[in-house]
A = this chain, B = another copy of it.
Amino acid sequence: MERYVTRKCFIMMCTALLILCAAAITSAEEKLPDAIESDPGKLGWMIGSPPPDNRIIRFDDGSYFKFPQLRWSVSNFRQLMPTVNVSRGVGAPSELKQKIDGNINQLTFLPINSKQPMTWDASLLANYTDGIIVLHKGTIVYERYFGVLGPEGQHGAMSVTKTFVGTLAAMMVAEGLLDANKKIAEYIPELAKSAFGTATLRQVMDMTTGIRFREDYADPAAEVWAHAAAGNPLPKPKDYTGPRSYYEFLQTVQAEGSHGDAFHYRTANTDVLGWVLARVSGRSVAQLLSERIWRKLGAEQDAYMSVDSTGTPFAGGGLNTGLRDLVRFGEMIRNNGIYNGQQIVPSTVIDDIRRGASKEDFTKAGYTQLTGWSYRNMWWVTHNKHGAFMARGVHGQAVYIDPTAEMVIARFASHLIASNSANDPTSLPAYDAVGKYLLKRDKAKK
């Protein structure tokens, strides 16, 4: 499953919205532009009045998700498509202290499957980083931005969206508003005839459903295309007869294998989960995020979500946030759900995430770089010595929580390869190295 996408595949992904491909097709033949060559500020996308013809990025011609245009688009999705606000409220933001540690840049680590050490500083370019913050005990010790992203501005969180939705679901389970053992059809009768109908809410939350949802972008018959076409907010072609919204699409999903047998990373699960949350609460996922998380965090910027043509937010990958707000969320989770003076997420939910799920189920998904991991409440749990767990989004989006080092890393990126398998080798050991460094620094101070 650890495969790469070709440039051609990228072009084909254009209409796929923010759909995540953990699996794709390998190619390493072409010399592709590096982070400096593809810097969206230097390339001048959408600058000028008007921008030059060859520097305009439009939604409808599909160029927005091509590389290197993607590097501009990820910080400007709202200029390309309809979106819904995730309000922070109107109060003052919570404080984020900053005490930069200049040593971090020169920390070195061994990338996975490499004997060539790399510095933290070099890893940022290797990963096509757009912004990164390292928080230690709640204080920013490292913060840096590249290209067209800055501390103000929102970036696509891609599948990190799923982690927010999974956390909201776990909160509602903890509060007794949802029953994890109930079948999906009990919550959403419209899904009774789809493969989801007989799955339990827990199986959806942990992505162990047995559904046919191929994310092979090279295959025009793959379900991922039908999903993207259904969710695309642009007018449908006249001869289009498929589903016209995420909800309509979900009703067409067929069974493949059995529920509960194995972890299969499939975006459609999160869309189902978002539907359950909306149906039970009477609030959209965007409203829930605002009321239950964004306002309580004391976020400094509103977030937003892309929507389909019926106004349904894309629960599987449509969230866009400021980097500092993303790291606030991570810090709240690290701090057992407490942030900004209040218990935002029940601590039992955090305990449940940290315990993780079945490693055996996870192994079946074949992530060769993530051995020993599991997936719980839409969080990726490393089960490493520091007990780290993370949220992951295609092209390198990440929230990495290292409870032992009391560290949270939030990163936005626009890696030329969609699959995180491409950036994990120069990301995961880097995160681990900073965690160990901070732990050592703490001990030295004592």
> In this assembly, does A307 line the interface, its C-beta being within 8 Å of a C-beta of chain B?
yes
Residue of B nearest to A90 (CB): B300
Q: Given the complex, which residues of B lie within 8 Å of A363, measured CB to CB?
A: none
Total copies of the chain: 2
A311 at the interface (CB under 8 A from B): yes
The answer to whether A81 and B79 touch (CB under 8 A), given A49-B312, A234-B60, is no
Q: Which residues of B contact A49 (CB under 8 A)?
A: 247, 275, 278-279, 284, 312
Q: Does A93 contact B (CB under 8 A)?
A: yes
Selected contact of A83 from candidates B83, B90, B154, B284, CB within 8 Å: B83
Question: With A49-B278, A235-B60, A311-B46 given, is the CB distance from A152 to B82 under 8 Å?
Answer: no
Interface residues of A in 43-90 (CB under 8 A from B): 46, 49-51, 56-61, 78-85, 87, 89-90
Cβ contact within 8 Å between A152 and B46: no
Closest B-chain residue to A233, C-beta based? B59
CB of A39 closer than 8 Å to a CB of B: no
Q: Does residue A444 face the partner (Cβ distance < 8 Å to B)?
A: no
A223: interface (CB < 8 Å): no
Q: Does A309 contact B (CB under 8 A)?
A: yes
* Residue A425 is within 8 A (CB to CB) of chain B in the complex: no
A123 at the interface (CB under 8 A from B): no
Asked if B89 and A50 sit within 8 Å, CB to CB, the answer is no
A326 to B230, CA, bound (A): 37
**Distance (whole angstroms) from the CB of A63 to the closest CB of chain B:** 11
Closest to A49 in B: B278
Point out the residues of chain B lying under 8 angstroms from A60, CB to CB.
Answer: 234-235, 309
Q: How far is the CA of A163 from the CA of B284 in the complex (A)?
A: 35
Give the distance in Å from the alpha carbon of A357 to the alpha carbon of B80 in the complex.
40
Q: How far is the CB of A304 from chain B (nearest CB, A)?
A: 8
Q: Which A residues fall within an 8 A CB radius of B?
A: 46, 49-51, 56-61, 78-85, 87, 89-93, 151-154, 233-235, 245, 247, 275, 278-279, 284, 300-302, 304, 307, 309-312
What are 13 contact pairs spanning A and B, CB under 8 A?
A46-B311, A49-B279, A49-B312, A50-B247, A51-B310, A56-B310, A58-B310, A60-B309, A78-B78, A78-B84, A78-B304, A82-B82, A87-B301
The 9 closest A-B pairs by CB, nearest first: A49-B278, A92-B92, A60-B235, A90-B300, A46-B311, A50-B247, A50-B310, A49-B279, A79-B84
